Structure 1
Amino acid sequence: MAAPHQPQLVFVDGSFEELAQEMANFLNVGDDVKALVEKSQKDEVLKKLIIASPALNSIPEKEFAGAYNLLVYLILQSENPAMFLPRVCDNLTKPITSSPINGPGLALNTLTTIFNMLQPDDDLRFHVFMAILKFLKIHGMFENLKPYLKSLDDWMEEWEVDSKSQRQAYESIIETARESGDAYTSYQYILKALRTFEDDKVKDEDAQAIALRALKTALHSPTQYDFQDLLNVPCVQALSETHPVYFELLTVFAEKDLEDYNQFREEHEGWVEKEHLDVAKLQTKMRLLTFASLAARTPTREIPYSEIAAALQIPMEEVELWVIDVIRAQLVEGRMSQQKKVFLVHRTTYRVFGEKQWRQLGDLVDTWRDTLTKVATTLRKEQAGLEAQKKRDLEEVERKLANTGVSGPGERRRGDRGDRGERSERAPRKERTDDDD
């Protein structure tokens, strides 16, 4: 698709009547259309063309794009293009029999051309977009759409799409993303679909069905470990009344540990299996979440292997495997000390941040402050000791120099000519006489 707000135009030359007759002749309905063209009955002409338009899927590949572009151009001359355009889009989602190999690419290019021919705020764009989603789902081409999903919210606002239609689009994206293996995008659009329900509709059957779907997706997802966003959605909160056991399970995964999960299973024996939830996946995810909680509440940032084994209810020899898994899940960062049998925590993710977590954070800050204060005090003592030792060493050097008669720093040597109080008197010069000859 082209960038939003940049409609792509198709340039054609000729009047509606001329072009319509040309298209009718191409579709072998020229005689049926001729009288209607002469009377300028546009919509009646277009009805004939639309009924015959499925034949375009069997024309030669080189004529495909031009023929469809001309048909769309004619439709846009109508005062009611919404009557005809959806039928054309539906044709394009069906097989292109004249080109089994290149057909999907030709059809997708034509659909995106139609999308870009329409003005940005034209609500017909929504119907074309839905046809594109249908096409991508049929052909497993979801990757072609992903770069443009970031514009979808703006498009929805421009088209003034109602909540029900938004959900329809999101549902299509959810399924297409899921089938392509993009679990993350699929889950994000389930949340978007949930947020389209008004407050007085959150307990409706449709809303609760999507809420359950979102919960099951999050529980089974290999990449989803944050349940707070889900827990805060009104439709999901309504599960506490419509499906209380599911809601209880959600709170366990959002805020609690493995011990609480095991207690839940004891209280609701056989329920997890009955609801066709994956027992192994839930157990694994709960252990990883428990590990993250353990790392977050450890004030020393050093967790003994024995404590990890106890919290995760695993043998000691499996601890390092779980350390690798929790790091791979990006819940915790750190390194193992196999010699000391401890895990050193560098960074961790809080699963929930409430009053309890603020207190834990306060305790950690107090611990760090005390540690830094002790380090600063030790450094000051070391610095003072070094300065005192330096002074003592200097004094010792000066003392030794004085004992050997060598001046120390800043002193002049005794007997230096420049320091004598008086110059020694020289003997008077003897007068020369004749007797000296």
Structure 2
Amino acid sequence: MMHTLSNRDRKHDRTKIQLILVAERLKLRQERQKAIMQYCFVEGSFADLARDLADYLHISADIEPLLEANTKDEVLKRLVTASASLNTYPEKEFTAAYNLLVYLVMQSPNVNMFLPRMCENLSKPITSAPINGPGLALSVLTTIFNLLSPDNEVRFNVFQAILRLVKISGAFETLRPQLKKLDQWLEEWELDEEDQRKLFGQLADVAEDVGEDVESYQYILKALRTFPSSEVSTKEAQDLSLRALKSALLSSNHFDFHDLTSLPTIQALSDSHPEYSELLEIFSEKELEDYNDFRDENEDWLEKEGLNNSTLHRKMRLLTLASVAASTNSRELEYKRIAKALQIPVEDVEMWVIDVIRAKLIEGKMSQQKQVFLVHRTTYRVFGEKQWREVATRLDQWRTSLRNVKEVISRERQQAEAQKERELHEVERKVAGASGMGAGRRPVGGRDNMIEMSTD
């Protein structure tokens, strides 16, 4: 028995084919960007494509009267509202359907009216694609972002939706190259301080979720710099400051705390969180003994705040060794002095020296024979009056050494010139002596012989 396709089946198949074609054209359009948009979709008017998408979404009856009235924005409102159901449609048809919707929306002069709702729909789970869903939605949102003009204010909202999906999918690597343009985008979007802070906070969360702690920390710092002076003591500022401070203290790679101590929000912690403020001061400019005293007095507080003592203690030893190396004037640091400062046995000194070199806090060479560490370069943890005095002392030492070298060179030069002059005099004397001997000798056949010949 033969079955004939109903008009509805034919129309449905035609819609699916149209969606595939549109998807292919949209890829070309993304390459050429919005400037050549009109050349990418040469088949089908707005009304025809809207009917196809409405039929696919099963809302043809609602759309047709609006099309006949030529109210495009009303048509788009209905399509965008119904597009929420696309999250349940087959995975292989999702991108094509959304690309068609994006194309239709981009033709409206009021495009910003529809994009927030589309971003909201795309941020929800795609139940038909539990594994690939975030990637599919991310692809559509990226398309929307690229099609919008750089100064379009909605671009910021689209980017936030992209960040939410990146956080869910963990696809930070796909986002990283684009973040190089972030400063340019911020300038184009003209965001106020609050929106900038919100964006930096989202980026910090996304980076932290995938283990990019260094990048996360940098975005937290950027967020902290957006607080005006009147808000440095607010709860939001304090919470963010504590997050940055804890991250820096527990990081195995962060040793320079000047980026924190210079921030007004961090400085404001001295009143609200004195323990944190004192701990930051210790790690900024003090040594192991000071940390041990603080730990003994605040052991319960450290545990309550989740600040691991082993991590902090090890870090403080590295910082202390850097300080001791920076304060030595002879450039030869004895193992015994290192052992005393780090409160370790002498036989463990070389292990800690290697660790502090790996941390790039100092450079130098160990001498096992002399039991000293020869300091080539060191990093000052803090540079204040004490450090200026040390620099002045070293400059005086270098000046004295240079003066001594200059005197030695001067003496050697004088001696060399004197020696040269003596040698010259000696040569002249010898030449003069040789000339005198030649002048006193009589030649053969001289005057006596001539007189004798004349007599004959």
What TM-score do you get using the length of structure 1 for normalisation? Answer: 0.84
In structure 2, what is the equivalent of residue 141 of structure 1? Answer: 171
Q: 1:359 to 1:7 in 2, by over 3 A?
A: farther
Q: Is the 8 A contact 2:84 2:121 kept in 1?
A: yes
In structure 1, what is the equivalent of residue 409 of structure 2? Answer: 379
In structure 2, what is the equivalent of residue 42 of structure 1? Answer: 72
Equivalent residue letter for 2:164? K
Secondary structure at the counterpart of residue 270 of structure 1: helix
Select between 84-93 and 256-265 the one with higher mean Cα deviation: 84-93
Q: Deviations over 1:164-211 (max 9, x none)?
A: 222222122111111222111111111111112121111111111111
Q: Deviations over 1:336-360 (max 9, x none)?
A: 1111111111111111112222121
Q: What is the CA distance between 1:334 and its match in structure 2? A: 1.1
In structure 1, what is the equivalent of residue 41 of structure 2? Answer: 12
In structure 2, what is the equivalent of residue 119 of structure 1? Answer: 149
In structure 2, what is the equivalent of residue 27 of structure 1? Answer: 57
Q: 1:360 to 1:397 in 2, by over 3 A?
A: same
Equivalent residue letter for 1:327? I
In structure 2, what is the equivalent of residue 316 of structure 1? Answer: 346
Equivalent residue letter for 1:144? T
Select between 48-57 and 331-340 the one with higher mean Cα deviation: 48-57
What are the equivalent positions in structure 2 for 1:163-312 lying under 5 Å apart? 163-312=193-342
Q: Which runs of 5+ in 1 are unaligned?
A: 1-5, 426-437
In structure 2, what is the equivalent of residue 154 of structure 1? Answer: 184
Equivalent residue letter for 2:276? Y
Q: What is the CA distance between 1:391 and its match in structure 2? A: 5.2
Q: 1:298 to 1:23 in 2, by over 3 A?
A: same
Q: Deviations over 1:249-298 (max 9, x none)?
A: 11111111111112222333432123221101100111111111111121
Q: What is the CA distance between 1:158 and its match in structure 2? A: 1.6
Q: Which runs of 5+ in 2 are unaligned?
A: 1-30, 448-456
Select between 264-273 and 118-127 the one with higher mean Cα deviation: 264-273
Q: What is the CA distance between 1:222 and its match in structure 2? A: 0.9
Select between 68-77 and 100-109 the one with higher mean Cα deviation: 100-109
Q: Tell me, in whole angstroms, the C-alpha distance in 2 between the residues paired with 1:50 and 1:76.
A: 12
Corresponding residue pairs, total: 409
In structure 2, what is the equivalent of residue 338 of structure 1? Answer: 368
Secondary structure at the counterpart of residue 40 of structure 1: coil
Q: What is the CA distance between 1:223 and its match in structure 2? A: 1.0
Q: What is the CA distance between 1:126 and its match in structure 2? A: 0.5
Q: Tell me, in whole angstroms, the C-alpha distance in 2 between the residues paired with 1:197 and 1:106.
A: 36
Q: Tell me, in whole angstroms, the C-alpha distance in 2 between the residues paired with 1:386 and 1:338.
A: 41
Q: 1:7 to 1:413 in 2, by over 3 A?
A: farther
Q: What is the CA distance between 1:41 and its match in structure 2? A: 2.4
Equivalent residue letter for 2:147? M
Q: Tell me, in whole angstroms, the C-alpha distance in 2 between the residues paired with 1:101 and 1:175.
A: 22
Q: Tell me, in whole angstroms, the C-alpha distance in 2 between the residues paired with 1:320 and 1:379.
A: 39
Q: Tell me, in whole angstroms, the C-alpha distance in 1 between the residues paired with 2:161 and 2:57.
A: 23
Secondary structure at the counterpart of residue 173 of structure 2: helix
Select between 157-166 and 135-144 the one with higher mean Cα deviation: 157-166
What are the equivalent positions in structure 2 for 1:387-426 lying under 5 Å apart? 387-389=417-419
Q: What is the CA distance between 1:389 and its match in structure 2? A: 4.4
Select between 350-359 and 83-92 the one with higher mean Cα deviation: 83-92
Q: 1:101 to 1:270 in 2, by over 3 A?
A: closer
Select between 83-92 and 348-357 the one with higher mean Cα deviation: 83-92
Secondary structure at the counterpart of residue 145 of structure 1: helix
Q: What is the CA distance between 1:33 and its match in structure 2? A: 0.9
Q: Tell me, in whole angstroms, the C-alpha distance in 1 between the residues paired with 2:207 and 2:299.
A: 34
Q: Tell me, in whole angstroms, the C-alpha distance in 1 between the residues paired with 2:253 and 2:306.
A: 20
Equivalent residue letter for 1:8? Q
In structure 1, what is the equivalent of residue 116 of structure 2? Answer: 86
Report percent identity of matched pairs.
55
Secondary structure at the counterpart of residue 374 of structure 2: strand
Q: What is the CA distance between 1:395 and its match in structure 2? A: 6.3
Q: What is the CA distance between 1:7 and its match in structure 2? A: 9.1
Secondary structure at the counterpart of residue 364 of structure 2: strand
Determine if the alignment matches structure 1 residue 68 to structure 2 residue 98.
Answer: yes
Equivalent residue letter for 1:12? F
Select between 185-194 and 263-272 the one with higher mean Cα deviation: 263-272
In structure 2, what is the equivalent of residue 430 of structure 1? Answer: none
Q: Is the 8 A contact 1:7 1:120 kept in 2?
A: no
Q: 1:113 to 1:245 in 2, by over 3 A?
A: same
Q: Tell me, in whole angstroms, the C-alpha distance in 1 between the residues paired with 2:220 and 2:142.
A: 25
Could you say which structure has the higher helix fraction? 2
Q: Larger RCO: Structure 1 or Structure 2 (Cα < 8 Å, ≥ 6 residues apart)?
A: 1
Q: What is the CA distance between 1:145 and its match in structure 2? A: 1.7
Q: Deviations over 1:102-144 (max 9, x none)?
A: 6655443332221111111111110111111111111111122
Q: Is the 8 A contact 2:134 2:168 kept in 1?
A: no
